[in-house]
């Protein structure tokens, strides 16, 4: 499958569609999910064009992979939900159709701000 340059997160990255930005650096952009499923629902996306986690882990540079992983924790800290601050959250990536992925640009959901339960429904 080829990366779709017209997916909504590609448009957000290009600044064509607004987002409620939480954090940005050379590797990631983070913003609030438009339809929050928990008290805090943030998204963290890589700046590179990767469809999903398997595409990313197969094709991204080590620098990009480290950048995304560190980005998740940086955002959690910024939101005050990291375990370092004595809190917690769920990081979740849906992968392809069977995984329930709707937007074909890799993203981690960060759910927190409350007990998120065993699974996200
Ligand atoms: P997924 O099902 O894992 O692909 O999740 C896609 C997520 O993107 C959903 O939680 C949507 O609510 C969210 N979403 C879709 N459009 C936007 C947008 N313009 N800004 C922020 N979040 C969005």
Residues with catalytic annotation?
107
pLDDT by residue, tens only, the chain of 121 residues: 899 999 999 999 999 999 999 999 999 999 999 999 999 999 999 999 999 999 999 999 999 999 999 999 999 999 999 999 999 999 999 999 999 999 999 999 999 999 998 875 5
How many independent structural domains does the chain possess?
Answer: 1
**Residue 100 maps to a domain:** yes
For the full predicted model, state whether its pTM sits above 0.85. Answer: yes
> For residue 27, what is the domain's CATH number?
3.30.428.10
Which residue's CA is the nearest one to ligand 1's atom 18? 34
Q: How far is the CA of 86 from the centre of ligand 1 (A)?
A: 28
Full residue range of the structural domain in which residue 33 is found:
8-112
Q: How far, in Å, CA of 37 to CA of 109, rounded? A: 10
**Residue 117 maps to a domain:** no
Tokens representing 78 are 């910024």
Decide: 13 and 45 in contact? Cβ < 8 Å: yes
């Amino acid at each position: 499958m080829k990366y779709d340059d017209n997916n909504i997160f590609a448009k957000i990255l290009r600044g064509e569609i607004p987002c409620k930005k939480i954090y940005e650096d050379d590797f990631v952009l983070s913003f609030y999910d438009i339809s929050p499923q928990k008290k805090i629902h943030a998204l963290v996306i890589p700046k590179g064009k990767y469809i999903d986690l398997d595409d990313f882990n197969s094709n991204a540079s080590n620098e990009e992979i480290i950048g995304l992983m560190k980005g998740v924790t940086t955002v959690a800290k910024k939101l005050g939900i990291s375990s370092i601050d004595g809190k917690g959250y769920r990081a979740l990536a849906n992968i392809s159709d069977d995984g329930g992925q709707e937007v074909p640009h890799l993203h981690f959901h960060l759910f927190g701000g409350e007990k998120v339960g065993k699974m996200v429904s």
